[in-house]
């Protein structure tokens, strides 16, 4: 396995991958796995796409991902990747989309265990009442990510940029 650290507006991000793809994106505080070696070149593609995302130049990631999880978690994480840039959804909506409308709590647990934050956009999941809910990176980072995406979309559309949505 390989690792690198990418600077970002929400603090340094640890990327961990292998020959098959990106396995983890961790927010500070973090430390690389003991069995991984630093290899900035091996993860340069992921680092470049993250830099483009934070610069407002990328709205969708195109990377091979190899998260490790249960079959249910993998289904939830795949569903997260379908949430449009700048959009939000709820745990209940994801459960319904998965054909398990009573599984919103299980969806929340899977969302919380997402090992590839930002790229697998778990930050786009909010409470059913529209409030910000838990985020492994903290609510300040979640708020920043959501407002960043809305700001980029507003700028592209030539609309005024709304501040402080949450």
Per the model's pLDDT, the better-predicted residue between 159 and 148 turns out to be 148
Mapped onto helix, strand or coil, the DSSP state of residue 58 is coil
| Interval 58-96: pLDDT, tens | 999 999 999 999 999 999 999 999 999 999 999 999 999
**Average model confidence (pLDDT) across the chain:** 93
Query: Of the given ranges (7-21, 30-44, 149-163), which has the lowest mean pLDDT?
Result: 149-163
- What confidence score (pLDDT) does residue 158 get? 80
Pick the CATH number of 71-157 from 3.40.50.300, 2.40.50.140, 1.10.1470.10, 1.10.10.10: 1.10.10.10
Does pTM surpass 0.75? yes
Q: What percent of the chain has pLDDT over 90?
A: 83
Catalytic residues: 122
Q: What whole-number distance in Å separates Cα of residue 144 and Cα of residue 132?
A: 11
Tokens matching residue 143? 């708020």
Tokens of 14: 């640890």
| Band of pLDDT at residue 130, cut at 50, 70 and 90 | confident
- The two tokens of residue 92 are 């209940």
pLDDT tens digits, 131-150:
888 788 888 999 999 999 99
Q: Which CATH architecture has domain 2-54?
A: 2-Layer Sandwich (3.30)
Long-range (24+ apart) CB contacts under 8 A made by 74-81 are 76/107, 76/110, 76/111, 76/114, 77/110, 77/114, 77/116, 77/120, 80/111, 80/114, 80/120, 80/121, 80/122, 80/124, 80/125, 81/120, 81/121
For CATH 3.30.160, list the domain ranges present in the chain.
2-54
Residue ranges, CATH 1.10.10.10, the chain:
71-157
């Amino acid at each position: 396995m390989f690792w690198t650290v990418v600077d970002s507006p929400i603090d340094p991000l640890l990327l961990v991958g292998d020959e098959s793809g990106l396995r983890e994106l961790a927010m500070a505080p973090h430390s690389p796995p003991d069995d991984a070696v630093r290899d900035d070149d091996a993860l340069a593609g992921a680092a470049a796409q993250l830099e483009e995302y934070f610069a407002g130049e990328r709205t969708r990631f195109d990377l091979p991902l190899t998260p490790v999880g249960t079959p249910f978690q993998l289904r939830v994480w795949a569903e997260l990747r379908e949430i449009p840039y700048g959009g939000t959804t709820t745990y209940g909506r994801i459960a319904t989309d998965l054909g398990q409308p009573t599984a919103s709590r299980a969806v929340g647990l899977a969302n919380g265990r997402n090992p590839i934050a930002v790229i697998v956009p778990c930050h786009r999941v909010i409470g059913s009442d529209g409030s910000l809910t838990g985020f492994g990176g903290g609510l300040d980072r979640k708020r920043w990510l959501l407002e960043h995406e809305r700001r980029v979309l507003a700028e592209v559309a030539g609309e005024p940029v709304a501040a402080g949505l949450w």
